[in-house]
Structure 1
């Protein structure tokens, strides 16, 4: 359902608005500058580039913006402490589960974060801060039944459940290879393990060939026809497409269903709440900042 992706993207935007520069640029800076300032970080034809040069460049390009984000984060922490707001491990895991769902599973999400240079610990830290902000601003935000119904009517097609299949696949170059792997599966070998070993699909092989849920029309016609014809738990015969030969294993199916307001209420409420949260955050931060003595020494940094 498109709204679910929209909802998850929106949560990611909230995190990025508040913390992305901190977790991206400045956490990287902290890693670079744990040693002597004069340490060489690169060279071109023997001409050295030092940590000091890199530091000055990053400071000039994003220093004040990054510091503002760190100050905002500190204010959020102090306000949460003042109001005795705590974030439980269960709440963190619930938020993580939504990211896993959007990115096609925990393993896929972890790999994407690794490529971006972000650790799971940093993701959790960002989630904690986002949850603190949500709890701090929750008393100021109200989502009415009328707003939810209006949103549902305006976006009704987003709430229609299309027929979907959740599947894994293994892609190989020849039909012979596909048949050999199918024989291994018949003998009880694990589909995900074989995908990691043999699949040519670099985007899914490390995740055991996991494709997640897809609708009709999302895949090539030959692949789609085979996948939707399989029963849950069944593995296809080799399926030829323009990419090679696939073995497809269906893990779950969802039947088409008409839009249902009652089933969608919680999702709609969260989406509208997060929209209002983004609008309320900056005014709230400006107001609450007046209660704190903030000193900025960045202009003296060298």
Structure 2
């Protein structure tokens, strides 16, 4: 439920009521504990953490007054009593608690993990690169199918040879037509246009962003092959644009068609220059883009690297809203563009999740994970038994997962060592146990042992890091305890107060009978109130209402008439009202059936009817209030019973230290 996403102390503040009992401060030999709840110590750091957290989000002034401290201490004790009871009832041993707490742990620990800091670094680097756009040309040298090491060397030598030609004055674009294995080079001569961060595969992007305009890279290896890259230009990122366009298509293989299209687009451009021309009409009449010609040619927002280079450069060359470009040619035909809107690159906070998603979908995610594993190995004393692992790989790589465990047993490999982590040695038997509980896609390459060994190592390292954080990171410990206790508190309150208060109809009725004085009507009256919103319509309302009293038929007729003919003239309400404290009805003469009242600068026309004297509400009329009050009663009763069950003892010295700590 959504309640559980709220921090434990906030939940406590929401549901707890200030207690009317004195908190006895009894000196106890409980060490540094602030207090004990039924003999169980509670550290002062927990109260300091919770109060400080609340103050940091809400208070404008530092420190806390003595009165505030005492109030918060009472609420804290109330909170710890209920957590203590939830633990005693075994609520933390339920499957529901385990599932929910595990889910919270997985989320809460993320900011403290090595992986998070590495991801943050990649996010910042990607966003930094997005501040600039790069225009580059490249030549691709692909490997032949099933390439050998010798084949790879031949491709590398060819890439180095062509790089030399470029450095000796060769034109990379002409050489791309001659040498590049990129099919698009026949059309664009290797010119990739402008691009920015996260639009190219990582090795290509890394290389391009290290080059200045005019520089040529060494061969860059990607999954496509080797690339020679020359950066032509670098510019600040212009952000995003939105344009509308007119398209005239032609068949590139048909020169006559192209010439006809060129003439047509020129005529359209001339027509656009006339002052009387309406852009949307021209688009609808002439544009051959069926996806946009019925809506003014409007295209979605786009940034650098999202469109074909010619179109993109034409769009970003426009500077004024409404400016129209001269005709430009792309592989799709001739276009005329009109600039509709421009906006700069969004702030990091707006782009963060999108950047994270894109990073985690490309090769950077694998790079981050490799770095995480390397840091974890160094930090936690990972030592691999290389000779044992090498022997096991030879024996077990060819074995399918389904036969892995039986093969290990048949060859007596269960006790073979794999690695040591924080002084503990992991064996092949540990690996087989891990494999039994895991699944993996059948679409993988490499040997069975290598695949599962790497996954097992990563899993054990991750568990070790999490245990380390739980043991040594004070902030995380406090956060984890807050959510642990918060879930327990919610479960207890739901069981003993909230659900019980709603479901216990007999208890509600008994509470109602014992507290009937709480559920009393004041003097009431039937009334129809017409607030005049349009003073010019006041007389019209008077004619319909004056001389009448409260009458349901009259009210319905008035409502139907004004809703149909002048719905903004009046605001109405009717029914039975407690009138002594009503802002309008408190001013009426109850002996008059029709009257006019001025209230808060507005005119009200009021019809009144039967008067009902003060008296008790029926149970059904009070059910919502009764349930609320009954839940409050159950909460206070629970707290009182817990005070007897779990005596509270406060260490006065530590209490004072806590107060001083909150005011440093």
Specify the structure having the higher radius of gyration (Cα).
2
Q: Do they superpose with TM above 0.5?
A: no
Which of structures 1 and 2 has the larger relative contact order (alpha carbons within 8 angstroms, sep 6+)?
1
TM-score (norm 2): 0.19
Which protein is richer in strand relative to its size? 2
Which protein is richer in helix relative to its size? 1
